[in-house]
Structures are given as structure tokens and as C-alpha cells.
């Protein structure tokens, strides 16, 4: 396997001002994010260089963003942010339903970003995606599952190890199953997962990989593709060797209908904050995230670009081509509450 790019796309924050001579006279665009990132990342510096608009990055939790937006609405004040970086369908749905996003019109985004990965009427557009895949230790198995549905097969009894149900990544996977199969079948699927567990659910993806590689019952897990990609491209020989002992299985790549729908994916997106006085600059920034240059930076990192015909893509170089599920992020987010209820009843918490 080839190694992951050392200059992988780094997600957000730190309070920082990206400046240029033109930017000194422009109103800064305030971008909030729940994740720490490099203010010198090209996604921000090239925007300033091209538009003269400086970017102020602020690391903030989703709860703090919500509190700030609510306070601004109650006081009739300017919102605390112009743009919010938001990850995962459930978070997008929650903020959209709360009314904290502002609709926008953009022919650029409509033309470049697939409809399933944006909702301009709701005020957001995706800029990178991640896949949640099956990872196995083939040395421990006589049979390898090739779909999410196959994870409930009795042949995997006592071999499945999963992260906690509180993980947004797992919740959204269940949300996708609800959207595709309906609540009743999705609940039966979750119960089937529980029946195959080798141990109580819990642990981060890296910990689950270690359990798969070590002696013991764990042989199959579900994880975001980039964790394995990052380990394969890391500087620690032990981590690389661990990752090389495992196999990434692209789920649902063959068959008719839902059987061949492709691997589940979720999105990292940017949204326009409701009431921002910098709506035009916010729109320009979202359009910038869909530019060839930014999307190529995504492709050379650990995520997948949202724009077609961008490449080479590092994840494809390492793991090969794969069909991705075309399920709309909005449709997935709408099932988040149902998914949480199903997981709670199954004890997956």
C-alpha cells in the first residue's frame, strides 16, 4: 500500500487572522469550527489572496455556537459567526432545524457540488467526504463480510468489535440504514450487530484496530477510512505494521438495488450563519471551497473531494476505486433521532 500524504487536509480553528495588503481594508470573515486547524491552510490563505477578505478562525463547540446564535437572536444582535464548519449529517440537521443557517443562492455550488452533498436552501454545502468502511483481520476469519447487512451474519458471532453508540459516526451509519431500510429493519440490524459482539461496544477506531491485530476474538470492525489511511502514512513503524496487517473492505460494491448501493459516506461542510452582515463574503467562501485548488488539496489529504474529476486522490491510490452511496446527507440527518432511539433500545450507547 502507498503511504498517505504527509500534508493531509487539516480541519479548523485557533483564533487567527489571515492577512494580505488587500485584506487590510476588508471586513474579516469570521469562520467558526468545532475542530482545531491551521489558519495557514490553503483553504483560508488562498481565499484571502484571491478576494482580499481576511479570515478569522475561531475554535468553538457546536453547543457554544448554538448558545451564541440564540443569544444574538434574542438580543437582535449580529451573530457571532459568518460561516460555520459543521461535520456530520446529524449536526447539520440539528443546526438547520434550529434555524441557525441562512439560505444562499449560488450557481457555482449548484454546478460543482452534487445535490446529495449540499442544501443551499438550508444554507450549507459540503467540501469533503469520508467513508465508513469495514475493516477485518483476514487471518482470524474463514469468511469476510462484504456489506453492512452482512455484519449481522451468524458466522461473525463473537468476532465483531464496535465503537460506542455515542459516536456521531456510528449514529449516522444507523441513520443511513433507517433511510434505506426503514426503522423496523434498521432496528433488527442493530440487534444483529449486538448479537455478534465479541465484547461490549466502546473504544476509538485506533483502539479497535489494535484489538483486531492482537490475539483475541475481535476480527471485524467498522471505521472511518482515513484512520487506516493516516496510520499507513504515519511515521511510526509500529502503527504502519499494524495497519498493514488489516484489510479494508469496501461495503456494498456488488449486487442489485441496495445491496450494491456503495459505501456509506458523510460530509464536512460549511454553512452561512443566519443574520450575518457578511453574506456575500460567506457565499464567496463557500464557492471557494468548491474550487479546483481547494478540492485538489482535499484529494491529496485524507478525505475525498466533493467535486467530480479531481485527482489524483490519495485514498484511491491506497485503497482503490469504490462506489459511494448516493444517499442525500439531508435524508440521513432527518433519521438521526430515530437512529439514537434504536441504538438506545439495543443498549448501544
Say yes or no: 53 and 106 in one domain.
yes
pLDDT of residue 220: 99
Cα first-last separation, the chain: 35
Say yes or no: 209 and 338 in one domain.
yes
Say yes or no: 211 and 66 in one domain.
no
Number of domains forming the structure of the chain = 2
Phi, psi of 36 (to 5 degrees): -70, 135
pLDDT of residue 7: 33
Say yes or no: 196 and 149 in one domain.
yes
Say yes or no: 167 and 213 in one domain.
yes
Does residue 3 form part of some domain?
no
Say yes or no: 252 and 273 in one domain.
no
Q: Which domain, by its residues, includes 197?
A: 130-262+333-345
Say yes or no: 292 and 147 in one domain.
no
Say yes or no: 117 and 80 in one domain.
yes
Q: What is the domain-level CATH number for residue 161?
A: 3.40.190.10
Say yes or no: 119 and 201 in one domain.
no
Say yes or no: 181 and 294 in one domain.
no
Contact 183, 339 (CB under 8 A): no
Q: Extract the C-alpha cell encoding 113.
A: 457540488
Does residue 328 form part of some domain?
no
Say yes or no: 120 and 135 in one domain.
no
Does residue 174 form part of some domain?
yes
Q: CA-CA distance, 179 to 172, in Å (whole number)? A: 10
Say yes or no: 67 and 180 in one domain.
no
Does residue 11 form part of some domain?
no
pLDDT of residue 300: 96
pTM, full prediction: 0.89
Spell out the per-residue pLDDT of the chain, length 349, in tens: 433 333 333 333 333 333 333 334 478 999 998 776 666 788 999 999 999 999 999 887 888 888 888 888 889 888 889 999 999 999 999 999 999 999 999 999 999 999 999 999 999 999 999 999 999 999 999 999 999 999 999 999 999 999 999 889 999 999 999 999 999 999 999 999 999 999 999 999 999 999 999 999 999 999 999 999 999 999 999 999 999 999 999 999 999 999 999 999 999 999 999 999 999 999 999 999 999 999 999 999 999 999 999 999 999 999 999 999 999 999 999 999 999 999 999 999 8
Q: CA-CA distance, 64 to 17, in Å (whole number)? A: 21
User: Which residue, 98, 64, 72, 43, is CA-closest to 269?
Assistant: 43
Amino acid at each position: 500500500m502507498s503511504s498517505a500524504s504527509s500534508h493531509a487536509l487539516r480541519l479548523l480553528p485557533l483564533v487567527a487572522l489571515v492577512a494580505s495588503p488587500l485584506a487590510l481594508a476588508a471586513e474579516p470573515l469570521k469562520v467558526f469550527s468545532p475542530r482545531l486547524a491551521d489558519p495557514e491552510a490553503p483553504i483560508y490563505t488562498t481565499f484571502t489572496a484571491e478576494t482580499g477578505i481576511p479570515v478569522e478562525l475561531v475554535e468553538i463547540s457546536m453547543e457554544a455556537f448554538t448558545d451564541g446564535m440564540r443569544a444574538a437572536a434574542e438580543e437582535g444582535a449580529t451573530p457571532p459567526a459568518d460561516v460555520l464548519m459543521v461535520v456530520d449529517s446529524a449536526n447539520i440537521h440539528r443546526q438547520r432545524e434550529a434555524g441557525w443557517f441562512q439560505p444562499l443562492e449560488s450557481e457555482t455550488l449548484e454546478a460543482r457540488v452534487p445535490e446529495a452533498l449540499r442544501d443551499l436552501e438550508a444554507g450549507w454545502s459540503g467540501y469533503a467526504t469520508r467513508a465508513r468502511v469495514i475493516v477485518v483481520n483476514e487471518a482470524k476469519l474463514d469468511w469476510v463480510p462484504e456489506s453492512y447487512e452482512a455484519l449481522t451474519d451468524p458466522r461473525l458471532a463473537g468476532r465483531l468489535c464496535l465503537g460506542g453508540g455515542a459516536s456521531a459516526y456510528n449514529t449516522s451509519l444507523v441513520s443511513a440504514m433507517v433511510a434505506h431500510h426503514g426503522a423496523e429493519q434498521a432496528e433488527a440490524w442493530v440487534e444483529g450487530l449486538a448479537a455478534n459482539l465479541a465484547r461490549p461496544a466502546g473504544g476509538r477506531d485506533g483502539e479497535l484496530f489494535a484489538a483486531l491485530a492482537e490475539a483475541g476474538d475481535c476480527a471485524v470492525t467498522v471505521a472511518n477510512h482515513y484512520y487506516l489511511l493516516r496510520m499507513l502514512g504515519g511515521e511510526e513503524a509500529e502503527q504502519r505494521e499494524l495497519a498493514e496487517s488489516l484489510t479494508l473492505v469496501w461495503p456494498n460494491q456488488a449486487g442489485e438495488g441496495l445491496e450494491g448501493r456503495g459505501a456509506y459516506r458523510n460530509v464536512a461542510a460549511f454553512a452561512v450563519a443566519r443574520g450575518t452582515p457578511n453574506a456575500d463574503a460567506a457565499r464567496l467562501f463557500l464557492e471557494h471551497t468548491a474550487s479546483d485548488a481547494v478540492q485538489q488539496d482535499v484529494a491529496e489529504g485524507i478525505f475525498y473531494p466533493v467535486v467530480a474529476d479531481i485527482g489524483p486522490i490519495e485514498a484511491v491510490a491506497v485503497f482503490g476505486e469504490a462506489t459511494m452511496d448516493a444517499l442525500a446527507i439531508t435524508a440521513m440527518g432527518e433519521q438521526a433521532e430515530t437512529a439514537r432511539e434504536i441504538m438506545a433500545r439495543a443498549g448501544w450507547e
